[in-house]
Structure 1
Amino acid sequence: MTDSEKPIADDEWRTIVANVPLVSVDLVIEHDGGVLLGKRENEPVKGEWFVPGGTVFKNESRTEAVHRVAEAELGEPVVIDGCIGTYEHFYETAATGGVDSKHYLATAYSSHLDRNDPELNGDDQHGAFQVFRPPFDEFHPYIKRYLNDY
C-alpha cells in the first residue's frame, strides 16, 4: 500500500471534513442508452440515486482517481470520454461523525464501461445500480446539473 492509499485516522478525517473542501471525482457513466446511477447507502444524499464518485488521494491525478473509484465502487473498469467540468457541492449532512456538513470540489467525468456486460453489485456506498434515461427531473439537483452539462 502506498502512502496515498493509507487510510486517514478518524479524528484527522473529521478535522479535514470540518475545515476544508474535499477534492473529488464523479463518474457520469453512459451505459445501455442511459446513465448509470447508484442508490446511496450513506450520507451525503443517502437514499438518492447518484453518480459513483470519491475523494482524490494525495499524489493521485483526478483521472487516476476515476479509474480507482470505478474499480472500487463498480468492480468494473471505465473508459474516460471527457471532462464535464468542476462543481462545488455543499451538503447539510455528512457520514463523518461529529461533522454536520460537507463541501466538495467535484470534477465530473463522462465515461463508459469498458465492457458491455458488466457485473455490477452494490457496495457499502450503493445498494444497487440502475440505468436511467431522460427526463431526469426527479433526481438530485447536482445530478441534473451534470446531465444538463453533459
Structure 2
Amino acid sequence: MMQRLETELFKTVVAATPLISMDLIVRNTNGQILLGLRNNRPAQGFWFVPGGRIGKDETFTQAFSRLTAIELGHELSLDDATFLGPYQHFYADNFSGNAFSTHYVVLGYQLTLELDLSALPNEQHQGYQWWSEAELLKSEHVHANTKAYFSHQYK
C-alpha cells in the first residue's frame, strides 16, 4: 500500500521534483474514452483520464493494480493494458494552491473495459462520461494533457 507523506513534506517534494504517475486511457468496446471531471488540483474542473502517482518502492505492476482498484473500482493486471509511452504534464498550480508548479512524468496505459459509470469512485472525479476522440479533442473542457494521448500535436 502506498504511504502518503505529511502535507508540508509533500509540498516540498512537489515544489522541487517531478512526480511519476500512470494514466489509464480506458476505452469501451465502442472505442469511446472514459473521462472524469477533476475535483482536485492540478487540472481541477477539467475532464481528465483516471490515473495517479506511483509510490516509492512500488513496482509498475503493483501501482497499476492499486490505481485501477482505486480509480476504476476493479483491480486489473498490467498485462491487461498496452503501454502508450511516457508523457510530460506541466501545471502552473499544485494540490495546495498556486505557490508553485507541478511536473509529472506520466506513463500512459490503454485498456478496454466496460464500466458502470454510476459505480465509479468519486474522490478524484465528480462525474464520468464516455467521449469520442473527436469530441474530446474539440472540447475546451478537456485538459490539454488528456488530449495529448489522442493527438500528436500535443506531444
Look up the match of 1:35. Answer: 33
Look up the match of 2:14. Answer: 17
What is the CA RMSD across the aligned residues, in angstroms? 1.9
- Separation (CA, whole Å) in 2 of partners of 1:148 and 1:84: 13
- Separation (CA, whole Å) in 1 of partners of 2:29 and 2:131: 9
> 5+ unaligned residues in a row in structure 1: which ranges?
none
SS in 1 for 2:45: coil
CA drift at 1:67: 2.1
TM-score (norm. length: structure 1): 0.85
2:51 to 24, 45, 53: 53
CA drift at 1:39: 0.5
TM-score (norm. length: structure 2): 0.83
Q: What amino acid does structure 2 have at the position aligned with 1:147?
A: F
Runs of 4+ aligned residues of structure 1 deviating over 2 Å after TM superposition are: 76-81, 96-100, 116-122
CA drift at 1:8: 0.9
- Separation (CA, whole Å) in 2 of partners of 1:45 and 1:38: 11
CA drift at 1:120: 2.9
Aligned pair in 2 of structure 1 residues 63, 106: CA closer, same or farther (>3 Å)?
same
CA drift at 1:98: 7.1
Identity in percent: 32
Superposed, which structure 2 residues align to 1:1-150 within 5 Å? 5-33=2-30, 34-78=32-76, 80-96=80-96, 99-113=99-113, 116-118=114-116, 120-135=119-134, 136-138=137-139, 139-148=142-151
Between the two proteins, the alignment pairs up a number of residues equal to 144
> 5+ unaligned residues in a row in structure 2: which ranges?
none
Contact 1:137 1:144 in 2 (8 A): no
